[in-house]
């Protein structure tokens, strides 16, 4: 007899077993939404073939295409590859301060300037209070500040050079320090460009203390001749030196040198007269010669590979963009405003030109001194030496004809007394009708250099 339709109410619970249903007889369209939950699916019952996946050209919803082959399960690395996560993938405020490990972000990763990292003052060579050029510079056993502030020319040679603040620099800079040979050397003991660093700026490096630390020197150089050159750092006692070589690869071209020095941990770094360390660039291979890339207990400046810049007329040696900072990475040069650099330089040296008039009180008719208050533009590093050139005594409608030649009661902030020991007395006292006048071409200098 034919089978009549049996409703679900006529089927006992559990009467239809899995064995009663042929394979592939139930299609997805015959299942109600959410009819099969995860509890009803055995472990590993869903195979890879049952998941939607991509092909050689497209990615599926669940699996990435495997170059046209059948997709396979992949082990996902929980640590993303470097550079795989872009800024666009991160939600706002997704990375909080607490999620960043200590020391995870280095200075090189920061995209904004870090102030006061460079201990070299006037590294851009913008300030030249003494003069923008000086010709015919010679002399033996002499270290002098000539043009660009804070930089010294040290020499014991018969070479004659011109020193200048030159309008030549790499992109992003304006000025440089230049030494140009006008008379070639025939006899030389040493010749160097020197930068001296105050002890208070050196403490950050931790010289003389245990541990591993580094400091990095970077600078731009442009020399007439291609070849090997040397730069060294040295303690203030001149008995610990570290030489490094750098190369002028292409003549007459601005190039940047980057040199990392290990910090010396020996007990050799006590300040001397406020000096904490110095940097020296060699100019000749006739200087004190030693080995590179190691601390040595001697006053050595160059290796035997040093090119002799004093050996030919018109050779020049140029530097700018000089930076010395803590760490093993050379960061971008720290540009300071002209005003800031000028103030920093005037802590060590200041020059006051004409016109300048300061009233003073004559001390006594028979003495050769006058009371005045002469404040410096900046508090100086130490009590300065004060020098006068073409500074005279003036009086309204009266010719005096006396030159001031010395200062007394000198302090870090000012001096309060001037004198003219080789002049005549003024013949009056107690009045304030006199003035100190810096005449045309004259100046007063206050020098507290290292």
Q: How far is CA 342 from CA 127, 167, 239, 377, in A?
A: 6, 18, 32, 10
Q: What pLDDT score was predicted for residue 178? A: 98
Q: What percent of the chain has pLDDT over 70?
A: 87
For the cut 80, the answer to whether the pLDDT of residue 421 exceeds it is yes
Q: Tell me: pLDDT of 75 over 60.
A: no
Q: Which two tokens stand for residue 129?
A: 């209070």
pLDDT digits (tens, 9 = 90+) for 137-196: 998 899 999 999 999 999 999 999 999 999 999 999 999 999 999 999 999 999 999 999
> What pLDDT score does 72 carry?
56
Structural contact between residues 278 and 194, judged by C-beta atoms closer than 8 angstroms:
yes
Per-residue pLDDT tens digits for 11-25 = 677 777 767 777 777
Give the residue, 89 or 439, on which the prediction is more confident.
Answer: 439
Query: Which pTM value belongs to this model?
Result: 0.78
pLDDT in tens, 288-311: 999 999 999 999 999 999 999 999
Q: Per CATH, which fold does 133-345 belong to?
A: Jelly Rolls (2.60.120)
Beta-carbon count within 10 A of 435 CB: 18
- CATH topology assigned to domain 347-447: Immunoglobulin-like (2.60.40)
- 135, 123 Cβ separation under 8 angstroms: no
* Peptide bond between residue 160 and the one before it cis (omega within 30 degrees of 0): no
Every domain of the chain and the residues it spans: 133-345, 347-447
Instruction: Report which of residues 111 and 434 the model is more confident about.
Output: 434
Question: Do the domains spanning 133-345 and 347-447 agree at the CATH topology level?
Answer: no
């Amino acid at each position: 007899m034919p089978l009549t339709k049996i409703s679900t109410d006529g089927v006992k619970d559990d009467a239809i077993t899995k064995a009663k249903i042929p394979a592939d007889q139930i299609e997805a369209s015959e299942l109600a939404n959410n009819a099969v939950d995860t509890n009803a699916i055995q472990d590993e019952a869903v195979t890879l073939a049952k998941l939607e996946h991509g092909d050689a050209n497209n990615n599926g919803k669940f699996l990435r295409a495997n170059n046209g082959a059948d997709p396979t399960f992949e082990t996902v690395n929980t640590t993303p590859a470097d550079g795989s996560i872009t800024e666009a993938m991160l939600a706002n405020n997704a990375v909080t301060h607490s999620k960043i490990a200590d020391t995870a972000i280095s200075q090189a990763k920061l995209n904004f300037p870090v102030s006061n990292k460079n201990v070299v003052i006037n590294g851009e060579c913008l300030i030249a209070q003494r003069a923008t050029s000086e010709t015919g510079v010679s002399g033996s056993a002499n270290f002098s500040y000539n043009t660009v502030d804070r930089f010294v020319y040290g020499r014991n040679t018969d070479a004659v050079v011109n020193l200048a603040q030159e309008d030549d620099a790499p992109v992003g800079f304006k000025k440089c320090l230049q030494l140009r040979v006008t008379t070639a050397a025939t006899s030389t003991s040493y010749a160097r460009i020197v930068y001296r660093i105050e002890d208070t700026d050196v403490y950050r490096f931790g010289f003389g203390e245990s541990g591993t630390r580094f400091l990095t020197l970077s600078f731009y150089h442009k020399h007439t001749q291609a070849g090997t050159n040397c730069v060294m750092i040295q303690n203030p006692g001149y008995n610990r030196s570290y030489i490094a070589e750098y190369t002028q690869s292409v003549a007459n071209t601005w190039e940047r040198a980057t040199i990392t020095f290990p910090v010396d941990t020996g007990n050799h770094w006590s300040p001397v007269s406020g000096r904490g360390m110095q940097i020296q660039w060699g100019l000749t291979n006739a200087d004190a010669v030693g080995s590179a890339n190691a601390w040595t207990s001697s006053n050595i400046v160059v290796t035997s590979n040093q090119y002799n810049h004093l050996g030919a007329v018109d050779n020049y040696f140029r530097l700018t963009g000089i930076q010395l900072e803590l760490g093993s990475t050379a960061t971008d040069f720290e540009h300071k405003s002209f005003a800031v650099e000028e103030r920093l330089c005037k802590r060590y040296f200041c020059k006051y030109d004409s016109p300048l008039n300061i009233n003073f009180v004559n001390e006594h008719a028979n003495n050769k001194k006058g009371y005045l208050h002469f404040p410096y533009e900046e508090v100086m590093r130490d009590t300065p030496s004060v020098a006068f050139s073409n500074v005279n005594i003036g009086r309204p409608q009266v010719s005096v004809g006396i030159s001031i030649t010395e200062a007394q009661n000198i302090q870090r902030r000012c001096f309060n007394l001037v004198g003219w020991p080789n002049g005549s007395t003024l013949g009056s006292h107690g009045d304030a009708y006199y003035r100190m006048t810096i005449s045309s071409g004259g100046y007063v200098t206050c020098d507290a250099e290292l």
